[in-house]
Structures are given as C-alpha cells and as structure tokens.
Structure 1
Amino acid sequence: MRLTQGCFSFLPDLTDDQIRAQVQYCIDNGWAVNIEFTDDPHPRNTYWEMWGHPMFDIRDPAGVMMELAECRKVYGDRYIRLSGFDAGHGWESVRISFIVNRPAEEPGFRLERQELAGRAIRYTTKAYAADSPAGRRYS
C-alpha cells in the first residue's frame, strides 16, 4: 500500500531536484521549512517528530537539503515529510506538506469494526506498523 498524505502523494516520489525546487518555492514565499519523521503515519497522527528546529529565514535550499540528507541517514527506514509554514498575518499555518522519504515496505492499514449498543457500529483504522513497538516497526 502506498501512503497518500500531503501534496504530491498520488505522484511518483519526488527526486531531490524536485524537492529542492519545492524548498525554493517555500523560501521565495517567506515560509519556514520544517523536516519531520514518524513510524506511525496514521492520517490523524499530525504530530510527527521534528528533525532539528524549523528553518526560519533560510535563504538557500542547500541548507534544507543538507538537513534532509542527515535525517535520511538516521531515519531512512521511516516516513519523512517536509513542510512550509506561513507565519504571515491571517495564515499562521502550514501551506505545503509532502512526503520526501518512505520505508522500503509500506504495510498499510486495517479497518477495525466495533459493535456498540443499539446496533450501532463504529469503524476505525489502525496501521499494521503499529502492531510492533516504536523504533522496530520497519526493521
């Protein structure tokens, strides 16, 4: 299963040159760039671990690409995403977010059904990866 979250998720994986172009777009718009990683990519898990600090006032995408390369060295077996945060008045929100690294195997999600009182049924999704403890989910 291919995880589809964020911009470009239905396209083939971006090359480093394409990632660099998106970073330049963020810089041109004055957005802070952030790198995050996780081994639990559940769609409602919006709080991934941060790699370093958000990069405010960065002028060259090479700095972001260097940090991304370091993050891939350490967490190359996990999902890594890059986001651009617009701190401008009236926005103060993430304007772009996309996956820049995936584990070799993406196990996907299962649908769990729970029967409640009065014939009500509740459904939820659970990542197969979450069956293993954190840190050993993709090894």
Structure 2
Amino acid sequence: MKTWNPINNKKFETLSYIPPLSEQSIAKEIEYMIKKGWVPCIEFDEVGYVYRENSRMPNYYDGRYWTLWKLPMFGCTDSSQVLKEIQECRQAYPNAYIRCLAFDNVKQAQCMAFLIQNPNN
C-alpha cells in the first residue's frame, strides 16, 4: 500500500489530488458555479498557505487570507468572463497560486473552491 508523503507535497482545495485542470475543465466547474447562482471569485497568493508573521497571540489573524483578484464577479453569466480574469491574473502573477472560489450571497458562505494554478507544477 502506498501512503501520501506530506513533505514538500502540499495539497490545496478540492481538486488538488488530480492532474491540473484544462481550460475546458475549469470552464465546466465555473459553469456549475453560475448555474447554482453562486458568485465566482479569484484569489492568489505566492506562499499558498496560512502563516503568521507579526504575532503569535490567539485571535490575531495576520496572513490568514489570500489576496482577492479584483472584486467578486457579481452578475457573471458566462464562464468566459471568469476565464478572462484568470488569464489576466496568471499574466500578472505567474509565480503565484491561483484559486477560484464560489460564494453563495444568500447564505453568505463559501460553497466551492479549487486550485487553478500551482507554481510548483
């Protein structure tokens, strides 16, 4: 039986255990988000994981979130709009982790997330 090696082998979000998604596969995931009425959102980070720089105190959340690429895409009706923003983010930050999130603005919760770009692959 083979076991997972956690050393220098960090996994991110739902689909990170499979090979990188193609543009067509990313578009299908985004179409699913839009059909559910969720709001697509793109985030990026060069480190790719949560860390703290300035404090070790409880309840201090420095470095907890990834950086938002522009605003969430409220009113988005087509996956090509999101793919265009993903491409712009890739060009601006070629060495960053990039992920796509889906937010339900009624429940005010994140419903889905997957990694689009892993600079280590």
TM-score bracket for this pair, using the shorter chain length: 0.7 to 0.9
Identical pairs, percent: 30
Match 1:39 to one of 43, 46, 50: 46
- The offset of 1:3, in angstroms, is 2.7
Q: Given the two structures, how large is their TM-score scaled by the length of structure 1?
A: 0.69
Higher relative contact order (CA 8 A, sep 6+): 2
Unmatched tracts of structure 2, length 5 or more:
1-7, 52-62
Match 2:20 to one of 13, 19, 26: 13
Q: How does 1:91-102 map onto structure 2 within 5 Å?
A: 91-102=107-118
Tell me the number of residue pairs that the alignment of Structure 1 and Structure 2 aligns. Answer: 103
Rounded Cα–Cα distance in structure 2 between residues aligned with 1:36 and 1:103: 14
Aligned to 2:58: none
1:97 aligned partner, one-letter code: A
Q: Secondary structure at the match of 2:14?
A: coil
Unmatched tracts of structure 1, length 5 or more:
106-139
Greater gyration radius: 1
Match 2:89 to one of 68, 71, 76: 71
Q: How does 1:1-139 map onto structure 2 within 5 Å?
A: 1-43=8-50, 46-88=64-106, 91-104=107-120
Q: Secondary structure at the match of 1:77?
A: coil
Higher share in strand:
1
